[in-house]
């Protein structure tokens, strides 16, 4: 009896469990805050604010720093003129604010000592800055008039109002997004401790794979699986290296042996079906891989196990060679675990949607079809062929038609996994 999808998912998770456990307990890597390698990594420990955010009281607006008490009587019928004070720009140290003055201040500049409010420049009379004097210039001259009172704290960003000093900025086990990286950088951290990424060795096989720099000859194709699966693995947080082998068991074993000491997991595509030249099956079965047929379409042939390579026991997952089969196999069996390790939701967003048309499915298999959402919210599904990469490239979803169902009518509900985000 063919193994079910659920049973094989459990087998893959059990195979990967020691890898996950080891990586979670591994010595963290430290990556510089400005490194492009930081994006998408997962914090190995909590990050705390080294300084309060913001680090000092500063102005929210371009305007005039004032004492609210000096404008308490201001109104349309009782305008108040204040002497012009020293100007403060962003980056200047905080100056001293004298009672009865209005000190020009720019957005983000430190509030001068003695001022407790900011009046936006457009609310002053006239609504513009006069000649400004900063520290070291000639003493400021002139007055500024106001026709409304100011409240204490108005347009002032208080030190620590965003994040107090010592507060947890990012918990351990959190995926680093651009905003989180910005927050950590603003707190003054130079490096971040992150979990090591799982190292995946990806191997495509087949004599039919032609070098990209050469024109195709009859019977040969370009390798789609290596770039496609490598991109999917990297998107899920893995560090990926690729190798390619022809239909020679000795060549394949040699390629894997030479790279095995620098990987946590081997993933292969192709060479595991029931044909006469199934190189992965022939090469890896003697080393510890087991191969089976699932009640699934596409992606029926699958393999997994632990290989004795380079003095190590290395887990291997073997996918079929047809590109759609390889992609769907990765989505169903491998990528959820990697996404969880990378601080992302393991599963794709799942929904129930109605079919835009009737479909047929082999009753003895769990069929996965590519599809799109129509304007009316229903889903239309592409043909089931495992070679139809063009349909996969345009797909927004994977629709799951469970085993035991031979046909579904139009408007029947079906479970979909969104793959467009």
Domains 5-26+197-341 and 58-157 alike in fold: no
What does the DSSP 8-state code read for residue 351?
E
Domain range annotation of the chain: 5-26+197-341, 29-54+161-194, 58-157, 350-418
Residue with tokens 């971040």: 192
pLDDT of 206 reads 83
The span from the CA of 245 to the CA of 247, in Å, is 7
* Closest to 205 measured CA to CA, from 242, 259, 234: 242
Inter-residue contact 187 to 52 (CB < 8 Å) = no
| φ and ψ of 352, to 5 deg | -105, 125
Query: How long is the chain?
Result: 421
Residue-wise DSSP of 6-64: HHHHHHHHHHHHHHHHHHHTSPPEEEETT-GGGTT-BBSS-EE-SS-BSSS-EESSSEE
Q: pLDDT of 113-123, one tens digit each?
A: 999 999 999 99
Residue 246 has pLDDT above 90, yes or no: no
Residue 235 has pLDDT above 90, yes or no: yes
Q: pLDDT of 1-34, one tens digit each?
A: 799 999 999 999 999 999 999 999 999 999 999 9
CATH number of the domain at 58-157, out of 2.130.10.30, 2.170.190.11, 3.30.9.10, 3.30.1490.20?
2.170.190.11
pLDDT of 165 reads 96
Average pLDDT score over residue span 105-120: 98
pLDDT of 277 reads 78
Residue 352 has pLDDT above 90, yes or no: yes
Residue 203 has pLDDT above 90, yes or no: yes
pTM of the model: 0.85
pLDDT, mean over the chain: 95
Q: Where are the alpha helices (DSSP H) in 249-353?
A: 249-259, 279-284, 323-329, 335-341
Q: Please tell us whether the domain made up of 29-54+161-194 is placed in CATH 3.40.462.40.
A: no
Q: With bands split at pLDDT 50, 70 and 90, how would you rate the model's confidence at 345?
A: very high
pLDDT of 198 reads 98
pLDDT of 123 reads 98
Residue 222 has pLDDT above 90, yes or no: no
Q: Please tell us whether the domain made up of 5-26+197-341 is placed in CATH 3.40.980.10.
A: yes
pLDDT of 265 reads 98
Kindly report which listed range (263-267, 269-273, 333-337) carries the lowest average pLDDT score: 269-273
pLDDT of 62 reads 98
Q: pLDDT of 142-157, one tens digit each?
A: 999 999 999 999 999 9
Q: With bands split at pLDDT 50, 70 and 90, how would you rate the model's confidence at 397?
A: very high
Architecture, CATH, for domain 350-418: Beta Barrel (2.40)
pLDDT of 386 reads 60
């Amino acid at each position: 009896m063919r193994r079910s999808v659920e049973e094989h998912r459990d087998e893959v998770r059990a195979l990967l469990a020691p890898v996950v456990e080891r990586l979670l307990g591994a010595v963290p890597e430290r990556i510089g805050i400005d490194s492009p390698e930081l994006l998408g990594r997962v914090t190995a420990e909590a990050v705390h604010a080294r300084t309060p955010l913001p680090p000092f009281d500063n102005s929210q607006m371009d305007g005039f720093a004032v004492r609210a008490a000096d404008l308490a009587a201001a109104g349309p019928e009782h305008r108040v003129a204040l002497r012009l004070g020293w100007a403060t720009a962003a980056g200047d140290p905080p100056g001293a604010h004298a009672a009865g003055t209005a000190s020009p201040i720019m957005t983000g500049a430190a509030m001068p000592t003695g001022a407790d409010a900011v009046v936006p420049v457009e609310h002053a009379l006239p609504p513009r800055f006069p000649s400004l004097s900063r520290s070291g210039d000639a003493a400021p001259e002139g007055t500024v008039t106001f026709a409304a009172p100011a409240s204490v704290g108005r347009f002032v960003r208080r030190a620590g109002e965003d994040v107090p000093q010592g507060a947890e900025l990012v918990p351990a086990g959190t995926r680093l997004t651009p905003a989180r990286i910005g927050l950590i950088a603003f707190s003054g951290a130079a490096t971040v401790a992150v979990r090591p990424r799982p190292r995946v060795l990806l191997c495509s096989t087949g004599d039919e794979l032609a070098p990209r720099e050469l024109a195709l000859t009859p019977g040969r194709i370009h390798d789609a699986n290596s770039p496609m699966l490598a991109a999917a693995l990297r998107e899920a947080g893995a560090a990926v290296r690729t190798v390619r082998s022809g239909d020679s068991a000795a060549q394949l074993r040699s390629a894997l042996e030479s790279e095995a000491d620098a990987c946590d997991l081997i993933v292969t595509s192709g060479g595991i079906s029931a044909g006469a030249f199934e190189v992965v099956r022939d090469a890896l079965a003697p080393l510890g891989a087991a191969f089976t047929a699932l009640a699934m379409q596409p992606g029926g042939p699958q393999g997994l196990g632990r290989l004795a390579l380079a003095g190590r026991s290395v887990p291997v997952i073997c996918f079929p060679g047809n590109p759609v089969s390889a992609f769907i196999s990765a989505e169903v069996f491998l990528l959820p675990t990697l996404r969880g390790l990378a601080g992302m939701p393991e599963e794709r967003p799942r929904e129930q949607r109605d079919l835009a048309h009737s479909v047929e499915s082999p009753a003895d298999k769990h069929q996965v079809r590519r599809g799109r959402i129509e304007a009316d919210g229903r889903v239309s599904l592409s043909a089931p062929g495992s070679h139809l990469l063009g349909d996969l490239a345009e797909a927004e979803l994977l629709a799951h038609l469970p085993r035991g169902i031979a046909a579904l009518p139009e408007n029947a509900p079906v479970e979909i996994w969104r793959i467009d985000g």
